[in-house]
Amino acid sequence: MKNYIKIERARYNLTQGDLAEKVGVSRQTINSIETKKYIPSTVLALKIAKVFNMTLDALFELEDDD
Amino acid sequence: MNSNFLFPSKFKYLAIILFLIPVFCHLFDIVLLNNDLVEKTLFEFLVSVAFFLIVFSRYKDDDEMLYSIRLKTTVYSLLIGVFLLIARPLLNFILWNQVEMYESAGSIISTVLFFNVLFFLRERNKLKESLEDEELH
């Protein structure tokens, strides 16, 4: 699943650690989501989208192999 | 995610102490009990409890990804445990013509817990390496 977290993070000038703290997970989790190694739960995805004032479908996108 | 079934992270220190007692006794030939069989059983028990506490203790940075890794490693280690349960008597029979049907439940559970710890640490190391790689680039 493609996501635009890294781009949005740069736009909001947030580090992985900052975002992790805001949504209550570890930095490793944010890194794994950005590198597409881990697909977040709906709750976590919604929390991340809320930080960037975006909707889920604007932040996450299904790929052909999903 | 509900993780009330897990022990606090401090229990990991207790697990390390419990694990080190038999290791030190074995390395430095320290005799705790006069009966060898009772001592061996006690050491096996301590190691099993140590693995149990490590597997079922929280990490300080526990979150939903670590819960999913924990679940995945539990499934893998269970598969290995079941495989050993089935394959070991069969191999014993084929290789040495010995009929020994089942291992004791204790040794199977110890194996499952051991592989659980092993897989979990491997997954955590992968995550750390991934973070370090990104910091380098």
Chain B residues close to A32, C-beta within 8 Å: 65, 127, 130
The tally of domains found in chain A comes to: 1
Residues 6+ apart with CB under 8 A from A20: A26, A27, A29, A30
- pLDDT for B3 equals 66
Q: Is residue A12 part of a domain?
A: yes
Q: How far apart are CA B52 and CA B36, in angstroms?
A: 24
- A21/B contact by beta carbon, under 8 A: no
Three-class secondary structure assignment of chain B: CCCCCCECCCHHHHHHHHHHHHHHHHHCCCCCCCCHHHHHHHHHHHHHHHHHHHHCECCCCCCHHHHHHHHHHHHHHHHHHHHHHHHHHHHHHHHHCCCCCCCCHHHHHHHHHHHHHHHHHHHHHHHHHHHHHHHHC
The confidence score (pLDDT) of residue B130 equals 83
A14 is written with which tokens?
Answer: 């947030």
A57 falls within a domain: yes
- Parent domain of A21: 2-61
Domain-located, residue A17? yes
Per-residue pLDDT of chain B (137 residues; tens, 9 = 90+): 566 788 898 999 999 999 998 888 888 877 777 777 888 888 888 888 999 999 889 888 888 999 999 999 999 998 988 888 788 778 888 887 777 666 677 777 888 888 899 999 998 888 888 888 877 77
Q: Is residue A66 part of a domain?
A: no
- Flag if A28 and B130 touch (Cβ within 8 Å): yes
**Tens-place pLDDT, residues A4-50:** 999 999 999 999 999 999 999 999 999 999 999 999 999 999 999 99
CATH of the domain at A55: 1.10.260.40
- B interface toward A at CB cutoff 8 Å? 1, 61, 63-66, 68, 127-128, 130-131, 134
